[in-house]
Amino acid sequence: MPGQIPGFATVKEDKIMAQSAGSPSTGALVDQEAERGLWPWLKYVARLLWRDKSGLLGLIMFSMVLFAAVFAPVIAPHDPIDQNRLI
């Protein structure tokens, strides 16, 4: 249909999808992907992050902080309170 936004269902299509699924649905792609399992959902999230560069950068930064927090005893094995004050 001209003027329709790609990827979004019209109200009529939304009602048809809700009736055919047998359960209430918002018509969003997330609802459809969640019914198929974990792997398609992960692929969907990866596609979203690949398109949204700021979201991908945020995920990378969060992963780096999480990595540093988990492996802090290995990265810095010495106690920060215990100092050599003779120098």
Check residues 85 and 44 and name the one with the higher pLDDT.
Answer: 44
What's the structural domain count of the chain? 1
For 35, the domain range is 11-73
Q: In this structure, what token pair is assigned to residue 32? A: 């459809």
pTM comes to 0.48
DSSP 1-57: -TTPPTT---HHHHHHHHHHHSS-----HHHHHHTT-HHHHHHHHHHHHHH-HHHHH
Q: Is residue 81 part of a domain?
A: no
Whether 36 is covered by a domain: the verdict is yes
How does pLDDT run across 33-73, given as a tens digit for each residue?
445 678 888 888 889 988 999 999 999 999 999 999 999 99
Q: How far apart are CA 80 and CA 83, in angstroms?
A: 7
What is the reported pLDDT for 67? 97
